[in-house]
Amino acid sequence: MNHLSKSLQHIRCLEFFSGIGGLHYSFNIACPLGEVVASFDINIIANATYKHNFDKTPVTKGIDFLSVYDIEKYDANCWLMSPPCQPYTRGGKGLDDQDPRAKGLLHLIDILPKLSNHPSYIFLENVLNFEKSKSREKLITQLCKMNYEIHECLLTPLQFGIPNDRLRYYLMARKLQEFNNDEKVITPQKYFEQATIHTSWPFECMLDNKENDKCNHWKQQQSLQLSKFEIPKLSNYVENILDEKELQKYLVPEKYILKSYNFKFDIVRPTDKRCSCFTKSYGSHHIFGSGSLIQTKNLEFTDYNFENPKSLLELGLRYFTPTEIAKLHAFPLKSQLSTNSSSKNENVFDSINDYTPKLYNCSELMLTSNYLEFPDDVSIIQKYRLLGNSLNVFVVSELLRCVLFSNR
């Protein structure tokens, strides 16, 4: 199948629900010659952080109020979207398309066919359960009617060699050439009957496609039967906090632990190779289900008695710091660049092992010159909220590079 032929250097993106710019960082890595021409978000603190790092202020007009002109004036051919997840989360009310926070996405779906020039590329990230939603059904239906090729998947950073279990839904859609043969058109009904939501990486169709040389590393890994390659220890991401005053900021208050009778919250040690998903509630009294806690004392002890919370006080439990979470989310950080500047070909994310691709080298990051750094007036709890609402830059950049912007 032939796709609209536009070279990567001419990709102009609109970033909807931009947050702190996770999609922007991913795009910079996957397509360094492209450009994010505008971003849209209404969160004041997220926008201040975005401005701080990209020197560009996101548009604060509500996405559900954008007109055709508001979108077309940017002459963009790519949409990147990370809409609010609350309408679809397991812990939410499950309002789906009836949730007011879904209005922005639904409006973009409705406005898509009204544009003079439809975007050649569309990318969406959201939480598990979005794949079962009416919002997804409406999006897929619109994309099929407009002749887009669609790939969907549910993937976690663990599958990319990062010790963080953050399962997310991803959609990649690419506009196909117009043609007159109705037999080749995939109707929404046919798509839903045949659709495959990939849960392994790389996708089987990528392995069969000899023209897509962008995922050669992953093909090689598959051929060597390294699908369960060695994941690095959390110690590669965890900071050694020596300053007692600084450490106190991240120790879990005793009252939070003592109130958690029989709640089996996730405790990890630096030698472990997995931590759970960090949510926007992390760092608060919600220590159950919001993310892993690091055990800093009595590291040989793992027989946790959650029916006796007092016994857990001897473990020196602390929260991951915002910097540690940013590392696990693979955000480019200046601190990582400085520690790896001795070699132009050295992987900045040096905690990622030999089986993962050496994509994030220093010269590439210096080319983008965009790193995650929070303004001084952003509090620790605000950093946790922003990071909890973000995404994994490495995973998204690979999906953009190997799937959405592939050369097949």
3-state secondary structure at position 275: strand
Match 């996101």 to its residue by tokens.
58
Handedness of CA 149, 12, 180, 146 (dihedral sign): positive
The answer to whether 174 and 149 are in contact (CB under 8 A) is: yes
Q: At what angle do helices 380-388 and 44-54 cross, to 10 degrees?
A: 90
The answer to whether 276 and 363 are in contact (CB under 8 A) is: no
CB atoms under 10 Å from CB of 66, counted, come to 18
Question: What distance lies between CA 32 and its chain's CA centroid?
Answer: 18
Mention every residue, 6+ apart, whose C-beta is less than 8 A from residue 284. Answer: 290, 381, 384
- Out of 13, 85, 277, 362, which one is annotated catalytic? 85
Q: What are phi and psi of 406, to 5 degrees?
A: -65, 160
Residue closest to 22 by CA, chosen among 324, 265, 408, 330 = 330
- Output Rg (C-alpha) for the chain, integer angstroms: 22
Question: What distance in Å separates the CA atoms of residue 310 and residue 307, rounded to the nearest whole number?
Answer: 9
Residue 362 is a catalytic residue: no
Question: What amino acid positions are annotated as catalytic residues?
Answer: 85
